[in-house]
Amino acid sequence: MRFRLTIPPDRDGAADHRLRPTRTFFLLTACALLPLFPCSVPAVQNGSDQPVVVQPGAPGQPTRRLPASTHGKLPPLSHNDVEFMQGMIMHHAQAVEMTALIPSHTENKELRTLGARISHSQSDEINFMKRWLAARGQPAMMQMAGMHHDHPMLMPGMLTPEQMDALRKAQGAEFDRLFLTGMIQHHGGALTMVHDLFNSAGSGQDAELFNFATDVDTGQRAEIRIMQAMLEQKAPQEKQ
């Protein structure tokens, strides 16, 4: 990429020399903001069109100059990371299925708002997890021996077929209660999955996965507190 900037030359023609250090400093500063990936800086000081690839060092360490053929690489793939993402896609899919029942099963506005929030966030996260897996050449579905559509494997906290059937048949206040208790159970399972991931050696080191799993833990803990409060509010009303 070439820059064009007109600066009136000094008497000794030093304008070009003033520009070059400034441009190089700007590019090196930008590279410092991306410490995990090497980046390319045009070789402006020697007049060459060959790019210079630099990797910012750790605090107190010098910047390294790398070969021009250097490319950024994804961190090593962990089998546990892949299984976590595949399992969480399945886990999230059931939560979205549960929220899809809300419009036809309850008039509770607070629950409808919560359900829309869960459906939107977890649908977006499913898309993210599928992209993460595809970028690493991995399938979105977990391949497990003995796994059949009639008896799908359940991840921690997922509702059993019997629980899902009871939820589909419920209406009104009973649906609200089953949905809230079921989703609290469901969210608790997601927290277990995150805990198990971070307690497995060599897992959860990928930056994108680490941020995602941390967000899942934080977000679902907050939603559990909301749902617990909603259940506490419903208890006195049902006694009246």
Q: What's 81-111 look like in SS3?
A: HHHHHHHHHHHHHHHHHHHCCHHHHCCCHHH
pLDDT, position 152: 62
- As a residue count, the chain comes to 240
For residue 158, pLDDT over 70 is answered with yes
pLDDT, position 71: 65
Could you tell me if 152 and 111 lie in one domain? yes
Could you tell me if 158 and 47 lie in one domain? no
| CA angle, 189 then 193 then 197, to 5° | 170
Sign of the C-alpha dihedral computed for residues 25, 27, 32 and 33 taken in this order: positive
pTM of this structure:
0.68
CA distances from 40 to 16, 48, 56, 58, 60 (A): 22, 13, 11, 18, 21
What is the pLDDT confidence band of residue 56, given thresholds at 50, 70 and 90? confident
The Cα 5–Cα 91 span in angstroms is: 55
Could you tell me if 165 and 220 lie in one domain? yes
Question: Percent of the chain having pLDDT more than 90?
Answer: 59
> 64 or 190: which carries more pLDDT confidence?
190
Could you tell me if 169 and 53 lie in one domain? no
Burial class (CB in 10 A: 0-12, 13-18, 19+), 48: exposed
pLDDT, position 234: 78
Give the domain CATH number at 213. Answer: 1.20.1260.10
Could you tell me if 133 and 199 lie in one domain? yes
In a domain, 8, yes or no: no
Dihedral over alpha carbons 38, 40, 45, 46 (to 10 degrees): 100
pLDDT tens by residue, 189-213: 999 999 999 999 999 999 999 999 9
For residue 144, pLDDT over 80 is answered with no
In a domain, 147, yes or no: yes
Tokens found for residue 111: 């629950």
The Cα 22–Cα 70 span in angstroms is: 25
In a domain, 119, yes or no: yes
Question: Of the residues 66, 93, 108, which one is the last residue of a structural domain?
Answer: 66
For residue 229, pLDDT over 90 is answered with yes
Rounded to 5 degrees, φ, ψ at 24 are: -65, -40
Q: Considering only CA atoms, which of 127, 154, 157 is closest in space to residue 142?
A: 154
In a domain, 1, yes or no: no
Could you tell me if 112 and 231 lie in one domain? yes
Q: Which domain holds residue 33?
A: 15-66
Helix, strand, or coil (residue 19): helix
Could you tell me if 42 and 154 lie in one domain? no
In a domain, 46, yes or no: yes
Q: Look at the chain and report how many structural domains it folds into.
A: 2
In a domain, 71, yes or no: no
In a domain, 7, yes or no: no
Mean pLDDT over 63-80 rounds to 76
Dihedral over alpha carbons 44, 9, 18, 28 (to 10 degrees): -40
pLDDT tens by residue, 31-55: 444 444 445 445 445 455 666 777 7
Could you tell me if 122 and 163 lie in one domain? yes
Could you tell me if 39 and 148 lie in one domain? no
For residue 105, pLDDT over 80 is answered with yes
Could you tell me if 29 and 133 lie in one domain? no
Could you tell me if 226 and 169 lie in one domain? yes
Residue 53 pairs in a beta bridge with 40, 66
Residue 40 pairs in a beta bridge with 53
pLDDT, position 36: 46
In a domain, 126, yes or no: yes
Question: Of the residues 23, 43, 66, which one is the last residue of a structural domain?
Answer: 66
Could you tell me if 195 and 83 lie in one domain? yes
| CA angle, 18 then 21 then 25, to 5° | 140
Cβ-Cβ contacts under 8 Å for 98 (sequence gap 6 or more): 115, 159, 164, 167, 179, 182, 183, 186
